[in-house]
Structure 1
Amino acid sequence: MAQLKIRDLYGLLRRAPMRRDLAQDGIRLVYDGQTFHLSTADEPDTVLATAPVTGFTTGPWEVTAYSASLASVTAWMRMLDGEDLIDVCPFWASEAVLAFATGGQVETWPLLACPTAPADRRPQGIAEGRTDR
């Protein structure tokens, strides 16, 4: 889990390209322990935007989330106070998601890939070529 201001996370996600502009579905977030880096599954080494962590930090992680779900995640964040902190962390149970939590509210973003999850809990979306979400 990592914490950052809602406005910083919202600003980061607004820099993601539209789904129709991607050859492969997928928004990639890499958390290095201090900063979030946004790229795409198409071009994972091209950083489109960064956002600094403001509050609690943990070890690094990396996820690739469905770009089709980006609109619902950002719409949910617009209803929140931008100065509040939001917790962001990958979560794997029956399905892997990126979880956002603040003030008792939780939103999730389905994941295509989570290389930092335990091997038996990693989603198989990109490896199997799934782009149906």
Structure 2
Amino acid sequence: MAQMRIGDLYGLLSRAPRRRDLEQDGIRLVYDGTAVHLSTADDPGAVIAWASTCGFVTGPWEVTAYSASLASVRAWMRMLDREDLIDLTPVWASTPVVLAFATGGQVGAWPVIACPTAPAARRPASPSTS
């Protein structure tokens, strides 16, 4: 889990490229225990932006989520107090994996394309390459 201010996460997600500017529909988020880094499925090694985390420190994780869902995630976050803390964590209790946002009793979810840090049995199926 990464814990950060809602305004910091909103700012980070605002830096994501538009879907039509991507060849692959994927926004990659990597949490290293101190910050969340943003890149794309097109170029996972190029960090576009990052935001520091605060509060709890947990193990690192990595997800690639659908950029097509980014607008609804940001719309939900605009209704929240930017200074409040939000928990951000991949949830793999079932398939498909989701990236969950939780704050003040409210929970949002972002569908995930890939989650290499999830247990093998809970990772989203990779698209066939036939």
TM-score for both structures, normalised by structure 2: 0.96
Q: Structure 1 residues 129, 80: closer, same or farther in 2, change over 3 A?
A: farther
Residue by residue, what CA displacement relative to the aligned partner does 1:38-72 show, whole Å, maximum 9, x if unpaired? Answer: 00000000000000001112010000000000000
Counterpart of 2:102 in structure 1 is 101
CA distance in 1 between counterparts of 2:115 and 2:20 reads 23
Q: Structure 1 residues 54, 94: closer, same or farther in 2, change over 3 A?
A: same
Q: Which runs of 4+ in 1 moved over 6 A?
A: none
Aligned runs of 1:1-133 on 2, under 5 Å? 1-92=1-92, 93-124=94-125, 127-128=126-127
Count, aligned residues: 128
Q: Structure 1 residues 43, 129: closer, same or farther in 2, change over 3 A?
A: farther
How far residue 129 of structure 1 moved from its aligned partner, in angstroms, is: 5.6
For the residue of structure 1 that corresponds to 2:8, the secondary structure is helix
CA distance in 1 between counterparts of 2:24 and 2:96 reads 20
For the residue of structure 1 that corresponds to 2:44, the secondary structure is coil
The answer for unaligned runs of 5 or more in structure 2 is none
For the residue of structure 1 that corresponds to 2:46, the secondary structure is coil
User: Does the CA contact (< 8 Å) of 2:91 and 2:97 recur in 1?
Assistant: yes
Identity of matched residues, %: 71
For the residue of structure 2 that corresponds to 1:7, the secondary structure is helix
CA distance in 2 between counterparts of 1:26 and 1:80 reads 25
CA distance in 1 between counterparts of 2:108 and 2:36 reads 18
